[in-house]
A and B are shown apart, each in its own frame.
Chain A
C-alpha cells in the first residue's frame, strides 16, 4: 500500500463493493425472464485488468466463485492489449472457464484516461445471468441431452464490438435466431450490458476522483486483504487430513450412485482439497465442469472458515488449492452434457463440509437437502412458446447452535420464488394450488434440520411438458454427531383420472388439463442426538404442526 493511505483504501474499496452491489440490483430489477427477475439467478462484479475478481454483488454463490476463471479464459484468446473501448467479451463454454450453457458471462472493459493522454484499461465490469432458454433439444431444459451440443448454443470465449455486433448487429441476430423466447432472452442480455455499463461508469468516476493508480492499488489490496483474513482463519483451524464423501442418487439412466470424495488437508496457512477417487464422468447432464467444482469447494471453505463480512474476491481463493482428476464427474472431458451441474456441485459442497466437520464441528452444518431442483413447464401455443422455470431449494442442515433454515434455497444458490400472483398473471396453462412447509421432513437432533416444502401445480391446458431434475430421491441427507437424516424428495403427478405417477429425480413427461404435479423437496439433517433437544423446542414444533409425533415417549422407552 505504498501510495495508498488507510483512508483512501477504505473509501475506494467500499465504493467498489457498493458499485458491484448496484450492478447486481439493476441487473435483476431491469430483467425480463422469470428466472432472472423473480428468481434472481444472476450475479455481477468488478474485475481487475489481470482477470481477478475484486468485488461482487452477493447474489448467487455458485456463479460468483469462478468469474475470474471465466474472464481469464477470454483474456487468453483476447489479451488486454488487443481490447479497445466498445468491445465486450462473452463466454458460456463449460470447457473453457464457463459453467453450464444457460449461464452467460459478459465482460466490459473499463478504459480511463491514463498517463500521457493514452487510455488505460483498469478492469472489467462483469455480469452473469441464467438465461431461460438458449436453444438446445427442449425448451428451457433438455434432460435427455447426451452431449453439450443438445444443451443449447455455446459461446466460446470471444470478443465482439457492442455497437457493430449488438443492437440489431450480426451477433444479436445469431442469438435471436437460436433461442425460443428471444424477446425475454435479448431483454436479459440488455440488462447484463446495462449492469456492466453502470460498473464501468462508477469505476471511471472513482478514477477521476482518486486517480487510476490509487484505484488499481485498492483493487490489489482488497484481494490481499481477503487473502490475509482467510490465512488468519486457516492458521486457527486444527491441522490434519480429513475425508468426506457424499453421492448423487444416479445419472438418470442407471441406479448407480455417483460418489464424490474429498480429501481436505489443512496446513499452517493453506488448505488443499483433492477429489481423487470421485467417480468418472457420466452420460447424462450431471457432470460438473471444473469451474463449478472450484466454486462449490471455495464456497464451502469460505462459509466455514470466515465470517460473512469478508469480501469474496480472488484473494480468498489463493490459500486454497483444489485438485480434480480430469475425466471425472467433477472435471469432465468435452463434449459431456453439464446442464444439471448444480447437483454434483452440491455433493462437492457436502463432501468438503463433512471433512471440515471433523476439524471444526462448531462451525459447520449437517447436510441439508442441498440440491437445486429445476422445475420447468412449457407449452407451445399459437403465439409461440411459453416457458416457466423455477428453482427450488429445501431445508438447511442443523448446526451446533441452531435449527436449520426452513424452506429456503440451498447454500450454493439464492433464487427467490416467483409470487403466485405474478404466475397467475403471466401464465394461462398452469396455476399453483399449494405451497406449504412439510411437517416431519427434517432430521431431528439436538438441533433439527430445516423443513422442506411442497409446491403443487394444477395444469390448465393440454399439451404441457414437464421437465425436472432434482436429487435426494434415493439418498437422504446424513445427520451429524448423532443427528437424524432429513427426508428424501419426490415428484408425483396426480392425473385427472385419479392415477398417481411417481417420477424419477430426472424426468420429462407430458401433462394434460386437470393433472396436478406435486413437487416435494425434503428437509435438512439434524445435529447432535435428539435426546439433547430442549423440551421447549419440541413443544413448539408440535404446537406449530411441524412435528406430528412426539419423540420423547419413544426415547423413554428406549432407555428402559
Chain B
C-alpha cells in the first residue's frame, strides 16, 4: 500500500492507494508538532502501518522554521572584508515609496557573522591562501564559545573552486564535532555571492530542525511496526528518502505546493493530457504552475520571507485568492478581493464563527454554487443568511443586488488568478490556449470554467478528490535530485564539447548519490544550459534534448538559446551577438514505476436535483449532480453543478462535462 500524508496549515490530508481502492482522510493540523496531526491522520484512516510499503510525507516544518525563526543557532563565515554580505543584500528596496522600509531579516545576527582570511579569483585560482593558523586560533574559539549548532560557510568564488570551503569546514568539524557545517558549494554551486550565501545560511538554519523532526517521525513509525520506505517531498517536485533529506534540508521548503502540481500532472496524464496549467485554490491563496509535456516548469530561484534561495524549484506563482479571501472597497472606491483572508478562524461569514466580512466562499453561497448543507460532503453546515448579510454593504455601495455584488467579487478573484496564469504562460512566451487547465484544491473546480474563458482555454481536467491532490502527489512523485555548476565560457564548438563532458561528470556524480541513498535503477536525466548574450546579467535556461548530447556544437546550442531568448524577451533572435554558457544543470530522476491510481471515493449517490445559480446577470435553472452518481462517458451539459466530497465543479452554459475512464471530469467548451 502507498500512503501520502500532507501536513497543511489547516488540514492534514491522507491518501492511501492500494490496487483500485482509495482511502481519503482529512484531520485538523497540529501546528505546534505537525507529526501529531500526521499520526492522527494515520490512526483515523484505520490503516495498518505494517502494510504500508511506501510512505510519502510533506510538511511545512522547514518553511515554518524559517517563517517563525525557530531554526538552529547558526554562525556565518565569509571571505575577509565581506562579513556583512547577508545584511548588505542587493542594496535595493522592494517597495520604492516606503519611507519606513526594512530589509528582509536573515535568521542570523551580525554578531554571529565572521570572516576567513583568504581570496580566490573568478577562475578559481588562489589570490590569497586560506590562513589556517588564524582559523584555528581566532575563528574556531569564538565559534566554540558562541554555542552554535550549525555553521554556514560562503566564500567568494567558491563556486569555481571549493578547496578553501572544504578545508575550513574540515578544520571546524575536527575542532567542533556535533556542529553541522554547510558550505555554499554544496547547496548552490553558482555565482552571485549574496544569493548563494542566503541559500547556504537558510540550509544550515533549517537542517537541524528537519533532522530532528524526521528522526522523531521515523522512530515513531518504527515503533508502530512500519517497515516500508519513508520519503519526503521536495520543492522541485521529486522525493528523497528521509535519510537523504536530513542532509539536504533546503529543498524541503514549499514542498506542499510542489506535491500538488505533481499529483495533478500525474492524474491528468492518465487521461492523456500532458500540456497543463495547474491551479490549486485553497483557503488563502492560489498556486499556479505550467506543465510542459508532463513536466512541471522549474525556476532556478525562489525566496522565503524575502530571502533568496538558489536551488531549482517548481515554477509556482502564488496569488492571494482563495476561499477565505475577503472582498473590500479601498479608500479610492475600488472593489478589491484579497490578499487578506478570513483564514480558518473565524473563517468566511458563512462558517458562523463570528466572521462578518464577505469572503469568496460566502459569494459562492450567495450565487448558489455551494449549498450551505452540502459543504465537505455534508460534514460541515454553513450559514447562508450570514453569507448574504456579509455582501450587503458592498451591494449598497455600488448600487448592485446582493448576488451581483457576490458575482463581482468572484470575477475579481478570477481576474487575480488569470494574472497569475499569465505570469507563468504569456510572460514566459507560452500561449495558455495550448494548455488544459487542471483545477484542484477545495475551490479550484468552481472557478475553473470562468478562468478558462478569460484565457481562451477550451479544455479543463478536474481530477477526482480534487481537495486532496497534494497528498496524492506525495505517492505519485519520483525521486529527484539536481546538480548545478557555474562554468562561464563563450559558446563555440569547444565549449559545447566541454559542456557535454561536464554533463557526463555531473551525471556520474548524481548516479553515485542515488547509489548512496540505496535507490537502485535507471535514472532519467534532464540537461539544462543557462545561457545569455555576452554582456547580459540574467540567464535563460535552455534544455538540451537527450538525443543531441553526444553531438553538441556551438551553432546548434546558439540556435536553441536564440529561440528561448526571443520567446521571452521579444528580441535577440538574430544572433548577431556572442553567446556564453554560464551554468550547467542536471536533474536526475528515478521513476517510481507504476503510478498509483487516484479514483473517486465512492459515496452514497443521489439523483440530480434542480438548482438556481446566478450567472452573468441572471438566475439560471440548472441541475445539481453528485460526482458519485456519474457514469463513465455520461455527458452533462451546462449549466450544471457537480458536487463531490472535497470539491464542487461548476459547469457554465456553453460547457459540457464528461467523466472519463481515469475518473477525471473533462470539461469542454462547445
Please list the residues of chain A having a beta carbon within 8 angstroms of any beta carbon in chain B.
6-7, 9-11, 13-15, 18, 22, 26, 28-34, 37-38, 40, 58-61, 183-184, 187, 190-191, 193-194, 197-198, 201, 225-226, 228-229, 232, 299, 302-304, 306, 308-310, 312, 363-365, 392-393, 396, 399, 401-402, 405-409, 411, 414-417, 419-422, 424-425, 431, 433-437, 453, 456, 540, 543-546
Contacts and interface: CB of A to CB of B under 8 A. Distances in A.
Given A198-B570, A402-B100, A416-B92, A183 B535 contact: yes
Contacts of B379: none
Interface string B391-430: 0000000100000000010011001100100110001000
Interface centre among B398, B423, B488, B536 (most CB of A within 10 A): B536
Contacts of A303: 97-99
B427 A22 contact: yes
Contact of B88 (A37, A421, A453, A540): A453
Given A10-B334, A22-B427, A61-B97, A37 B536 contact: yes
B537 interface: yes
A435 B81 contact: yes
B82 A435 contact: yes
A191 B96 CA distance: 23
Question: What secondary structure prevails in chain B residues at the interface with A?
Answer: loop
Interface in B69-111: 81-85, 87-88, 90-93, 95-103, 109-111
A302 B415 contact: no
B533 interface: yes
Contacts of A302: 97
Nearest to B398: A6
A463 to B, nearest CB: 21
A451 to B, nearest CB: 9
A368 B411 CA distance: 44
A416 B90 contact: yes
Contacts of B90: 416-417
A466 to B, nearest CB: 19
A414 B92 contact: yes
A18 B81 contact: no
Nearest to A229: B332
A420 B82 contact: yes
B335 interface: yes
Given A32-B533, A408-B103, A421-B192, A187 B577 contact: yes
Given A29-B569, A33-B535, A11 B99 contact: no
A419 B90 CA distance: 8
A194 B569 contact: yes
A364 B99 contact: yes
A30 B334 contact: no
Contacts of A14: 415-416, 419
A403 to B, nearest CB: 8
B333 interface: yes
Given A37-B537, A543-B111, A11 B412 contact: yes
Nearest to A205: B426
Given A194-B569, A194-B570, A187 B533 contact: yes
Given A225-B333, A232-B331, A31 B97 contact: no
7 contacts: A6-B398, A58-B95, A226-B332, A408-B101, A416-B92, A419-B193, A437-B110
Contacts of B122: 421, 424-425
- Interface centre among B110, B156, B398, by most A CB within 10 Å? B110
Contacts of B98: 303, 308
A225 B332 contact: yes
A553 to B, nearest CB: 21
B101 to A, nearest CB: 5
A452 B269 CA distance: 55
B96, B193, B333 pick with most chain A CB within 10 angstroms: B96
B565 interface: yes
Interface in B568-595: 568-572, 577
Interface string B110-122: 1100000001011
A430 to B, nearest CB: 13
B273 interface: no
Contacts of A304: 99
Contacts of A407: 84, 87-88, 91
A96 B193 CA distance: 42
A30 B87 contact: no
B42 to A, nearest CB: 43
Nearest to B337: A10
A414 B537 contact: no
B415 A31 contact: no
B92 A228 contact: no
B408 A7 contact: yes
Nearest to B91: A417
B205 interface: no
B96 A61 contact: yes
A289 to B, nearest CB: 21
A402 B100 CA distance: 7
Contacts of B121: 424
Nearest to B194: A419
A312 B98 CA distance: 13
A191 B571 contact: yes
Contact of B87 (A6, A229, A406, A416): A406
Query: Closest 8 A-B residue pairs measured CB to CB?
Result: A434-B81, A37-B537, A544-B110, A32-B535, A424-B122, A194-B571, A417-B91, A30-B569
Contact of B81 (A229, A312, A433): A433
A187 B579 CA distance: 13
Contacts of A312: 97
Contact of B102 (A187, A402, A415): A402
A299 B99 CA distance: 11
B10 to A, nearest CB: 28
Contact of A411 (B82, B84, B99, B423): B99
B81 A456 contact: yes
Contacts of A229: 331-332
Nearest to A60: B96
| B92, B398, B537 — most chain A CB neighbours (10 Å) | B537
B157 interface: yes
Contacts of B191: 419, 421-422, 425
Contacts of A433: 81, 119
Nearest to B566: A194
B412 A7 contact: yes
Given A22-B427, A419-B193, A435-B82, A308 B570 contact: no
Given A6-B334, A194-B569, A424-B156, A37 B82 contact: no
A429 to B, nearest CB: 13
B336 interface: yes
